[in-house]
């Protein structure tokens, strides 16, 4: 691929709901541009962008893929972004480095949640966008219904720039309102025809609306247009470019990703009406970073992959300056000097060696020492730190258990590499519940991560239900004796103490106090009593959960001049603690979560009803956007372990939630009884074993 100047580069994300045909659209775009000699099929797992074995197996995109093509003396970096919400992290990352989005949707009246997520990302990052209506050849295609929905939701922003020729099975081409020509055929075999007589009136009517939108943002065009002159195709395209760049215009294009109809005109529009990186300055600490190839180098790492053989591979968008092989750059996030040994242009699963990468372009750098997703690389003398990517917090968790001892030894290292590749994955060794917890965006996300562990790193794990970190405490004052006495052939063991347990304020932890007077227990044995109590805390006294918010007071006891020892008093302290707890009204505490659920208004009733079945305490509702409400509730953790999946089902994927531990509350008696019985049964089984 030849070199291109910044003004000839287009960085475009292909986004939308899972299953709308993004990958097939990219496949036809790559083929139409002559970058490949075949068209793969998602059903066969042989497309250019879905090359990972997991993508081939699942027949869905699980990771963003960069595919550069050449079209009319321009370079277009196409980025195929996964559409399933489980892999939304890539949408957030890619939004930081592209200059425009193509939002793909099916020709049906209702918009999918993936469309909404893509639109929100474009709005958040101020990205120009166009809509590509796909699957017009389907029997149930409803083009007019979708256009009505788009106009109802987004108003005059939606600008039709094409008309479909034929309906459903008869769909055969697109009427382009810019050139007033019909484009039939597909991919490289496009035929250009005049407008059929039956479409002339509609075409003229919609072209007028398109010219209105094109002239609105340019004073010269507006004057010419108001004077009754007809705008040239070049002037219309210029006006649409300005309107798209400023967010006033969202062009709507049409086609079929399955057959390739409309792909060539889509590529024309990307070159003509989607802005180059020159149009998009990046704000950093009040300064506008311009895409100037001659300026001091600055770049942003938006994606990192972990290859078991090659090592880390960083995907980099050059924001300013020019990057060359053997350059030394500064990683400002880690205060690390990095040398560029291996520089490539990505091509899906393959790579093309590069020597120079100019501002605005996207490249791959291999084998950097300590560079990760979200890091900033720059000239050491002119340092720039770009804002980090705002990845969503994990919403679904499972426990993973190594299948063998060898898997256990390798798990930590393999998981570390996965976390580098996917910042929306979290992994913690929870010492309180004695489980390894893997957190992510959904069940498919975590299943994919577990498959990666096995395929890439040879680590096999099984999934268990993540435990709830219950705790235990007391609600009343209780006192009891703890005596440990053992006589052997020589010196015996003797320790005797009296312990009083008192409730402490919630969240304050554990306190130990000595009120022993008169030497009933020698001072040197008091710490042993405390140690015996503290060592018993993690084991609990009801169902094996850690004890919290308790004050233990040792106030009396006895000792033997010869047989007493630290070990004996430690055992006595443990016995006294358990005996006293039995009379102090012990209870189990459960974690209570603050949950905020963002939900469309027409699903509020369903969400509230479902929360009520989860022992939730509703704390209020408030409108946050037109048609959108946030429901606030305090909900026991135990009841929302699968809430990410359940909410997706209840709201057809449109509901989102955030949850954080608020406090610990008392577990209802009937729920506590289940835990206690299960604990006793497991303990008896262990003793029998």
Task: Give every CB contact of residue 528 below 8 A, 6+ residues apart in sequence.
Answer: 495, 566, 567, 568, 569, 570, 573
Rounded Cα–Cα distance for residues 275 and 12 (Å): 9
Among residues 280, 296, 324, the one where a domain terminates is 280
Q: What would the DSSP string read from start to end of 469-499?
A: --EEEESS-EEEEEEEEE--SSS-EEEEEEE
* Nearest of 15, 50, 55 to residue 448 by alpha carbon: 55
Distances (CA, A) of 656 to 91, 110, 166, 262: 16, 19, 39, 35
Among residues 556, 584, 612, the one where a domain terminates is 584
Report the predicted TM-score, pTM, of the whole model to 2 decimal places: 0.89
Rounded Cα–Cα distance for residues 241 and 275 (Å): 7
In a domain, 102, yes or no: yes
Q: What share of the chain is helix, strand, coil (3-state, %, to 5)?
A: 35, 35, 35
In a domain, 276, yes or no: yes
Are residue 252 and residue 120 in the same domain, yes or no?
A: yes
Distances (CA, A) of 384 to 9, 79, 96, 357: 23, 25, 15, 18
* Nearest of 204, 136, 131 to residue 166 by alpha carbon: 136
Per residue in 92-103, pLDDT (tens digit) is 999 999 999 999
Task: Give every CB contact of residue 251 below 8 A, 6+ residues apart in sequence.
Answer: 130, 131, 159, 161, 240, 244, 269, 273
| Domain span including residue 371 | 283-378
Are residue 15 and residue 60 in the same domain, yes or no?
A: yes
Q: What would the DSSP string read from start to end of 231-273?
A: PPHHHHHHHHHHHHHHTS-EEEEE--TTT-TTHHHHHHHHHHH
Axis crossing angle, helix 219-226 with helix 200-216, rounded to the nearest 10: 140
Are residue 171 and residue 314 in the same domain, yes or no?
A: no
134: β partners: 106
Length of the chain: 689
Q: Tell me 683's DSSP state.
A: H
Are residue 145 and residue 255 in the same domain, yes or no?
A: yes
Are residue 580 and residue 636 in the same domain, yes or no?
A: no
In a domain, 420, yes or no: yes
Are residue 477 and residue 552 in the same domain, yes or no?
A: yes
Rounded Cα–Cα distance for residues 656 and 113 (Å): 11
Parts of the chain with a pLDDT under 50:
none
Q: Coil, strand or helix: which one is 123?
A: helix
Convert 636-656 into a string of H (helix), E (strand) and C (coil): EHHHCCCHHHHHHHHCCCCCE
Are residue 640 and residue 491 in the same domain, yes or no?
A: no
Return the ∠ at Cα 496 (arms to 493 and 500), rounded to 5°: 150
Distances (CA, A) of 60 to 41, 83, 274, 478: 11, 9, 27, 60
Are residue 166 and residue 275 in the same domain, yes or no?
A: yes
Return the ∠ at Cα 605 (arms to 604 and 607), rounded to 5°: 65
pLDDT attached to residue 489: 65
Q: What is the CATH number of the domain that holds 616?
A: 3.30.70.240
Q: Count other Cβ atoms within 10 Å, centred on residue 362.
A: 24
Task: Give every CB contact of residue 364 below 8 A, 6+ residues apart in sequence.
Answer: 313, 314, 315, 316, 343, 344, 345, 346, 351
Are residue 289 and residue 368 in the same domain, yes or no?
A: yes
In a domain, 457, yes or no: yes
Q: What is the CATH number of the domain that holds 423?
A: 3.30.70.870
Q: What is the CATH number of the domain that holds 560?
A: 3.30.230.10
pLDDT attached to residue 623: 93
In a domain, 213, yes or no: no
Among residues 259, 280, 301, the one where a domain terminates is 280
Helix (H) or strand (E) holding 23: helix 22-32
Rounded Cα–Cα distance for residues 244 and 590 (Å): 52
Q: Count other Cβ atoms within 10 Å, centred on residue 24.
A: 25
N- to C-terminal Cα separation, the chain: 69
pLDDT attached to residue 43: 63
How many separate domains does the chain show? 5
Are residue 175 and residue 312 in the same domain, yes or no?
A: no
Q: Coil, strand or helix: which one is 28?
A: helix
In a domain, 369, yes or no: yes
In a domain, 624, yes or no: yes
362: β partners: 317
Rounded Cα–Cα distance for residues 212 and 226 (Å): 10
Residue 340 — φ and ψ, nearest 5°? -90, 95
Are residue 540 and residue 510 in the same domain, yes or no?
A: yes
Give the number of C-alpha atoms closer than 13 A to the C-alpha of residue 611, restricted to the C-beta side. Answer: 24
Q: Count other Cβ atoms within 10 Å, centred on residue 595.
A: 23
Residue 124 — φ and ψ, nearest 5°? -60, -40
In a domain, 231, yes or no: no
Q: What would the DSSP string read from start to end of 556-623?
A: EEE--TTTB-HHHHHHHHHHHHHHHHHTS-EEEEEEEEEEEEEEEGGGHHHHHHHHHTTT-EEEEEEE
Q: What is the CATH number of the domain that holds 337?
A: 2.40.30.10
Return the ∠ at Cα 282 (arms to 278 and 285), rounded to 5°: 150
pLDDT attached to residue 283: 83
Are residue 482 and residue 599 in the same domain, yes or no?
A: no
**Residue 460, class by beta-carbon neighbours within 10 Å (0-12 exposed, 13-18 middle, 19+ buried)?**
middle
Per residue in 654-671, pLDDT (tens digit) is 999 999 999 999 999 999
Q: What is the CATH number of the domain that holds 136?
A: 3.40.50.300
């Amino acid at each position: 691929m030849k070199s291109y100047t910044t003004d000839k580069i287009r960085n475009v994300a292909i986004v939308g709901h899972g299953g709308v045909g993004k990958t097939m659209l990219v496949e036809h775009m790559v083929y139409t541009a002559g970058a490949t000699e075949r068209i793969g099929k998602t059903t066969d797992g042989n497309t250019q962008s879905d090359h990972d074995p997991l993508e081939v197996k699942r027949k869905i995109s699980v990771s963003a893929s960069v595919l550069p093509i050449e079209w009319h003396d321009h370079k277009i970096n196409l980025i195929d972004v996964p559409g399933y919400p489980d892999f939304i992290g890539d949408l957030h990352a890619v939004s930081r480095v592209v200059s425009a989005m193509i939002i793909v949707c099916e020709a049906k009246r209702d918009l999918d949640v993936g469309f909404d997520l893509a639109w929100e990302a474009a709005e958040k990052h101020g990205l120009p966008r166009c809509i590509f209506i796909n699957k017009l050849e389907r029997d149930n295609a409803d083009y007019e219904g979708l256009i009505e929905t788009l106009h109802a939701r987004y108003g005059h922003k939606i600008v039709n720039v094409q008309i479909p020729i034929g309906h459903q099975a008869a769909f055969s081409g697109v009427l382009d309102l810019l050139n007033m020509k019909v484009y039939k055929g597909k991919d490289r075999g496009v035929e250009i025809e005049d407008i059929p007589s039956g479409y002339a009136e509609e075409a003229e009517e919609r072209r007028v609306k398109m010219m209105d939108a094109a002239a609105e943002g340019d004073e010269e065009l507006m004057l010419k247009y108001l004077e009754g002159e007809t705008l040239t195709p070049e002037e219309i395209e210029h006006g649409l470019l300005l309107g798209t760049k400023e967010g006033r215009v969202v062009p709507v294009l049409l086609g079929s990703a399955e057959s390739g109809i409309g792909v060539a005109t889509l590529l024309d529009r990307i070159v003509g009406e989607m802005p180059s990186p020159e149009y998009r300055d990046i704000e950093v600490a009040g300064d506008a970073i311009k895409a100037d190839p001659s300026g001091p180098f600055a770049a942003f790492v938006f994606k990192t992959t972990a290859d078991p053989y090659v090592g880390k591979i960083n995907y980099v968008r050059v924001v300013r300056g020019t990057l060359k092989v053997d350059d030394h750059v500064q990683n400002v996030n880690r205060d690390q000097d990095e040398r560029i040994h291996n520089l490539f242009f990505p091509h899906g699963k393959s790579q093309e060696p590069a020597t120079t990468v100019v501002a605005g372009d996207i490249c791959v750098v291999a084998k950097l020492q300590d560079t990760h997703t979200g890091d900033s690389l720059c000239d050491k003398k002119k340092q720039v730190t770009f804002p980090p990517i705002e990845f969503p917090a994990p919403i679904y968790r499972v426990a993973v258990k190594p299948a063998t001892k060898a898997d256990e030894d390798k798990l930590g290292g393999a998981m570390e590499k996965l976390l580098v590749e996917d910042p929306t994955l979290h992994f913690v060794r929870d010492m309180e519940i004695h489980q390894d917890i893997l957190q992510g965006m959904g069940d498919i996300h975590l299943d994919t991560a577990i498959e990666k562990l096995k395929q890439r790193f040879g680590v096999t794990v099984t999934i268990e239900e993540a435990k709830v970190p219950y705790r235990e405490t007391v609600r009343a004052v209780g006192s009891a004796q703890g005596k440990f006495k053992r006589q052997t052939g020589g010196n015996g063991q003797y320790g005797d103490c009296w312990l009083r347990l008192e409730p402490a304020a919630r969240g304050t932890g554990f306190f130990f106090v000595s009120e022993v007077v008169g030497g009933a227990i020698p001072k040197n044995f008091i710490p042993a009593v405390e140690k015996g109590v503290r060592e018993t805390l993690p084991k609990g006294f009801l169902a094996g959960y850690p004890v919290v918010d308790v004050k233990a007071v040792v106030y009396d006891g006895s000792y033997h001049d010869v047989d007493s020892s630290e070990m004996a008093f430690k055992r006595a302290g443990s016995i006294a603690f358990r005996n006293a707890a039995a009379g102090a009204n012990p209870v189990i505490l459960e974690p209570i979560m603050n949950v905020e659920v963002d939900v469309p208004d027409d699903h509020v009733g369903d969400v509230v009803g479902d929360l009520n079945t989860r022992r939730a305490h509703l704390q209020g509702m408030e409108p946050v956007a037109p048609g959108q409400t946030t429901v606030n509730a305090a909900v026991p953790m135990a009841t929302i372990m699968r809430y990410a999946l359940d909410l997706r089902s209840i709201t057809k994927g449109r509901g989102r939630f955030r949850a954080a531990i608020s406090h610990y509350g008392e577990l209802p008696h009937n729920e506590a009884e289940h835990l206690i019985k299960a604990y006793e049964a497991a303990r008896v089984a262990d003793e029998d074993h």
